[in-house]
Structure 1
Amino acid sequence: MSDAAREAVNSSNTTFLKNAGIPTSSSKSQSAGEEVLRQELASEKQGLAILHQQVEELKKKTKATEKALARTQRHYEELKKQQDESNAILMKILNLNTPGTYS
Protein backbone atom coordinates (compact mmCIF):
# COMPACT_ATOMS: atom_id res chain seq x y z
CA MET A 1 0.00 0.00 0.00
CA SER A 2 1.36 3.40 -0.92
CA ASP A 3 1.81 6.20 1.58
CA ALA A 4 -1.00 8.18 -0.05
CA ALA A 5 -3.38 5.23 0.19
CA ARG A 6 -2.43 4.58 3.81
CA GLU A 7 -3.02 8.25 4.65
CA ALA A 8 -6.43 8.21 2.95
CA VAL A 9 -7.50 5.11 4.91
CA ASN A 10 -6.29 6.64 8.20
CA SER A 11 -8.12 9.85 7.38
CA SER A 12 -11.33 7.94 6.61
CA ASN A 13 -11.00 5.93 9.83
CA THR A 14 -10.42 9.08 11.86
CA THR A 15 -13.46 10.79 10.31
CA PHE A 16 -15.60 7.72 10.98
CA LEU A 17 -14.46 7.49 14.59
CA LYS A 18 -15.09 11.21 15.16
CA ASN A 19 -18.57 10.95 13.65
CA ALA A 20 -19.30 7.92 15.83
CA GLY A 21 -18.23 9.85 18.93
CA ILE A 22 -15.26 7.61 19.60
CA PRO A 23 -12.16 9.50 20.69
CA THR A 24 -9.17 9.11 18.42
CA SER A 25 -5.54 9.44 19.38
CA SER A 26 -5.45 12.95 17.91
CA SER A 27 -8.57 14.00 19.83
CA LYS A 28 -7.10 12.46 22.99
CA SER A 29 -3.96 14.51 22.55
CA GLN A 30 -6.12 17.59 21.93
CA SER A 31 -8.04 16.83 25.11
CA ALA A 32 -4.79 16.45 27.03
CA GLY A 33 -3.55 19.72 25.53
CA GLU A 34 -6.81 21.42 26.42
CA GLU A 35 -6.54 20.12 29.98
CA VAL A 36 -3.03 21.50 30.26
CA LEU A 37 -4.26 24.87 29.02
CA ARG A 38 -7.18 24.80 31.47
CA GLN A 39 -4.80 24.05 34.33
CA GLU A 40 -2.51 26.88 33.24
CA LEU A 41 -5.48 29.24 33.04
CA ALA A 42 -6.68 28.21 36.50
CA SER A 43 -3.18 28.70 37.87
CA GLU A 44 -2.94 32.15 36.30
CA LYS A 45 -6.35 33.11 37.68
CA GLN A 46 -5.28 31.99 41.15
CA GLY A 47 -2.05 33.97 40.84
CA LEU A 48 -4.02 37.01 39.71
CA ALA A 49 -6.36 36.70 42.68
CA ILE A 50 -3.38 36.55 45.04
CA LEU A 51 -1.82 39.61 43.41
CA HIS A 52 -5.13 41.48 43.65
CA GLN A 53 -5.33 40.65 47.36
CA GLN A 54 -1.76 41.86 47.89
CA VAL A 55 -2.53 45.12 46.07
CA GLU A 56 -5.56 45.69 48.32
CA GLU A 57 -3.45 45.04 51.42
CA LEU A 58 -0.80 47.49 50.19
CA LYS A 59 -3.49 50.11 49.55
CA LYS A 60 -4.73 49.73 53.13
CA LYS A 61 -1.19 49.99 54.51
CA THR A 62 -0.50 53.05 52.37
CA LYS A 63 -3.67 54.74 53.59
CA ALA A 64 -2.75 54.03 57.22
CA THR A 65 0.79 55.32 56.65
CA GLU A 66 -0.53 58.51 55.03
CA LYS A 67 -2.82 59.12 58.02
CA ALA A 68 0.09 58.61 60.42
CA LEU A 69 2.24 60.99 58.39
CA ALA A 70 -0.48 63.67 58.42
CA ARG A 71 -0.82 63.25 62.20
CA THR A 72 2.94 63.57 62.63
CA GLN A 73 3.04 66.69 60.45
CA ARG A 74 0.27 68.33 62.51
CA HIS A 75 2.08 67.45 65.72
CA TYR A 76 5.32 68.87 64.34
CA GLU A 77 3.60 72.14 63.38
CA GLU A 78 2.07 72.44 66.87
CA LEU A 79 5.45 71.86 68.51
CA LYS A 80 7.10 74.36 66.19
CA LYS A 81 4.47 76.98 67.07
CA GLN A 82 4.97 76.32 70.80
CA GLN A 83 8.74 76.60 70.37
CA ASP A 84 8.37 79.93 68.55
CA GLU A 85 6.13 81.23 71.34
CA SER A 86 8.59 80.06 73.99
CA ASN A 87 11.46 81.74 72.14
CA ALA A 88 9.50 85.01 71.94
CA ILE A 89 8.79 84.92 75.70
CA LEU A 90 12.43 84.10 76.44
CA MET A 91 13.61 87.03 74.31
CA LYS A 92 11.29 89.40 76.23
CA ILE A 93 12.64 88.11 79.55
CA LEU A 94 16.23 88.49 78.39
CA ASN A 95 15.55 92.01 77.16
CA LEU A 96 14.02 92.95 80.54
CA ASN A 97 16.97 91.58 82.48
CA THR A 98 19.67 93.15 80.35
CA PRO A 99 20.88 96.39 82.00
CA GLY A 100 20.79 99.49 79.89
CA THR A 101 18.34 98.07 77.39
CA TYR A 102 15.00 99.75 77.10
CA SER A 103 12.15 98.08 75.30
Structure 2
Amino acid sequence: MSDVAREAVNSSNTTFLKNDGIPTNSSKSQSASEEAFCQELASEKQGSVILHQQVEELKKKTEATEEALARTQRQYEKLKKQQNQSNVILMRILNLNTPCASSQP
Protein backbone atom coordinates (compact mmCIF):
# COMPACT_ATOMS: atom_id res chain seq x y z
CA MET A 1 0.00 0.00 0.00
CA SER A 2 1.36 3.43 -0.89
CA ASP A 3 1.94 6.18 1.64
CA VAL A 4 -0.91 8.21 0.18
CA ALA A 5 -3.34 5.30 0.42
CA ARG A 6 -2.25 4.50 3.98
CA GLU A 7 -2.72 8.16 4.99
CA ALA A 8 -6.16 8.24 3.39
CA VAL A 9 -7.23 5.12 5.31
CA ASN A 10 -5.80 6.43 8.61
CA SER A 11 -7.37 9.85 8.24
CA SER A 12 -10.73 8.41 7.22
CA ASN A 13 -10.65 6.03 10.21
CA THR A 14 -9.86 8.91 12.52
CA THR A 15 -12.59 11.03 10.96
CA PHE A 16 -15.06 8.17 11.31
CA LEU A 17 -14.12 7.66 14.96
CA LYS A 18 -14.48 11.39 15.67
CA ASN A 19 -17.83 11.54 13.91
CA ASP A 20 -18.96 8.44 15.76
CA GLY A 21 -18.10 10.06 19.11
CA ILE A 22 -15.21 7.73 19.86
CA PRO A 23 -12.21 9.73 21.05
CA THR A 24 -8.90 8.95 19.39
CA ASN A 25 -5.51 9.45 21.03
CA SER A 26 -4.85 12.66 19.13
CA SER A 27 -8.33 14.01 19.80
CA LYS A 28 -7.99 13.24 23.52
CA SER A 29 -4.82 15.27 23.83
CA GLN A 30 -6.28 17.98 21.62
CA SER A 31 -9.44 18.05 23.73
CA ALA A 32 -7.41 18.32 26.92
CA SER A 33 -5.32 21.15 25.53
CA GLU A 34 -8.42 22.85 24.11
CA GLU A 35 -10.14 22.52 27.46
CA ALA A 36 -7.11 23.95 29.26
CA PHE A 37 -6.99 26.81 26.78
CA CYS A 38 -10.72 27.46 27.19
CA GLN A 39 -10.36 27.46 30.97
CA GLU A 40 -7.44 29.88 30.75
CA LEU A 41 -9.41 32.09 28.37
CA ALA A 42 -12.45 32.05 30.66
CA SER A 43 -10.25 32.92 33.62
CA GLU A 44 -8.70 35.83 31.73
CA LYS A 45 -12.13 37.05 30.65
CA GLN A 46 -13.33 36.93 34.25
CA GLY A 47 -10.23 38.84 35.35
CA SER A 48 -10.86 41.39 32.63
CA VAL A 49 -14.47 41.83 33.76
CA ILE A 50 -13.35 42.32 37.36
CA LEU A 51 -10.74 44.88 36.31
CA HIS A 52 -13.33 46.71 34.21
CA GLN A 53 -15.68 46.85 37.20
CA GLN A 54 -12.90 48.19 39.40
CA VAL A 55 -12.05 50.86 36.84
CA GLU A 56 -15.72 51.91 36.69
CA GLU A 57 -15.89 52.10 40.49
CA LEU A 58 -12.72 54.20 40.58
CA LYS A 59 -14.13 56.51 37.91
CA LYS A 60 -17.28 57.02 40.00
CA LYS A 61 -15.24 57.66 43.16
CA THR A 62 -13.00 60.10 41.29
CA GLU A 63 -16.00 61.95 39.93
CA ALA A 64 -17.56 62.18 43.40
CA THR A 65 -14.26 63.40 44.85
CA GLU A 66 -13.88 66.03 42.14
CA GLU A 67 -17.44 67.25 42.77
CA ALA A 68 -16.75 67.47 46.51
CA LEU A 69 -13.53 69.38 45.84
CA ALA A 70 -15.37 71.83 43.56
CA ARG A 71 -18.03 72.40 46.28
CA THR A 72 -15.32 72.95 48.87
CA GLN A 73 -13.54 75.44 46.61
CA ARG A 74 -16.79 77.35 46.03
CA GLN A 75 -17.47 77.44 49.77
CA TYR A 76 -13.92 78.62 50.43
CA GLU A 77 -14.24 81.44 47.89
CA LYS A 78 -17.60 82.45 49.38
CA LEU A 79 -16.17 82.50 52.92
CA LYS A 80 -13.11 84.41 51.72
CA LYS A 81 -15.37 87.04 50.13
CA GLN A 82 -17.45 87.27 53.33
CA GLN A 83 -14.26 87.66 55.37
CA ASN A 84 -13.07 90.48 53.12
CA GLN A 85 -16.45 92.20 53.46
CA SER A 86 -16.30 91.80 57.23
CA ASN A 87 -12.81 93.30 57.26
CA VAL A 88 -14.01 96.31 55.25
CA ILE A 89 -16.92 96.84 57.66
CA LEU A 90 -14.60 96.49 60.65
CA MET A 91 -12.15 99.01 59.19
CA ARG A 92 -15.01 101.49 58.61
CA ILE A 93 -16.16 101.05 62.20
CA LEU A 94 -12.63 101.54 63.49
CA ASN A 95 -12.14 104.62 61.30
CA LEU A 96 -15.40 106.10 62.59
CA ASN A 97 -14.37 105.56 66.19
CA THR A 98 -10.79 106.75 65.79
CA PRO A 99 -11.54 110.43 64.97
CA CYS A 100 -14.05 110.61 67.82
CA ALA A 101 -11.64 109.07 70.27
CA SER A 102 -8.85 111.46 69.32
CA SER A 103 -11.13 114.52 69.60
CA GLN A 104 -12.16 113.69 73.16
CA PRO A 105 -9.93 115.15 75.92
TM-score in terms of structure 1 length:
0.73
Q: Could you tell me how far apart the structure 1 residues matched to 2:19 and 2:101 are? A: 117
1:95 match: 95
Does the alignment pair 1:38 with 2:52?
no
Alignment of 1:1-103 (within 5 A): 17=17, 22-96=22-96, 97-98=98-99
Classify 1:17/1:73 alpha carbon distance in 2 versus 1 (closer, same or farther; 3 Å): same
Report the identity percentage: 77
| Letter paired with 1:95 | N
Shift of 1:55: 1.1
Give unpaired runs (5+ residues) of structure 2.
1-9
The one-letter code matched in structure 2 to 1:29 is S
TM-score computed with the length of structure 2 as normaliser: 0.72
1:89 and 1:34, CA in 2 relative to 1: closer, same or farther beyond 3 A?
Answer: same
| Distance in structure 2 (CA, Å) of the matches to 1:16 and 1:72 | 75
Residue 22 of structure 1 deviates from its aligned partner by: 3.3
